[in-house]
Structure 1
């Protein structure tokens, strides 16, 4: 079974990923892939430097992610330019890893953790889509605390993604992560039981 896992920034998607992985579910993580394709010396990183400038590279040749985030989040045309460079490679690697995992055991549950799943139009590739949800006001507060952002910076990041309420409406499964870790664990346990007993 192929499952897409998504949510909004600071909704706790990584927590849910860890809880699912602890069940033995094969996890394909788009964020890990995105970091790997932007490692020093990678062709995509050279393309990014050519398009945006060497000032977006760190001394070790890696991408200055914080600087790039500041640059693109309130500039939709710049965000689009970055996405056009990196997203095709990320999507191809996600597809490869999912197919590889399915090839080892056709009964496997494979979860692809993709932050921008809906924004990228990839939901049709999955049997079910899980959205990790918290209300927007809590999402905003968690993001500000987690990343040390101002209200304006945090709003810019939230506005760069599809609204969390819209993601919730589109979801096949919603995991509400606005409570305790134990409450989230209970929801993951119930989901695991449903998958393994059906």
Structure 2
């Protein structure tokens, strides 16, 4: 039984952020999903609104991104001259892509991920319809680690070659049933 977030063996910087924002005990969906996600398993989960699904997928993504970063930093320090800061291997090298059906949900997910990663240095960008595409293109110009998007806006940005998804390691369809109900089936394909 998982009683605390520490029991889930999350990165210490994530645990510190969770403490700062007042998360004490994992919800059922978090306690059940996080261990599988940390093992790299694909997950299909369903839970009511307000049960902590964003943390259930967001915390493992951040943990695994940080573990990968630390591993690559350790190996590059052993094999190469010290680098001058972290560089993405490609201009828009997105590592995690999260699709959600609405602008509001996408922005909420982005806000939560920013809170969870407050002690880490990840660029998290929300790209959604109804807001300035020029600003979103500009936000993506120097790359982003995590992109939270609505399907239509993501397709628009891909058609404009403003985002590159060739390095995506983590992919989340949040509220996939709702996206299909809203007619995004062709966009998601």
Fold match, TM over 0.5? no
Higher helix share: 1
Q: Considering Cα pairs closer than 8 Å and 6+ residues apart, tell me whether 1 or 2 has the greater RCO.
A: 1
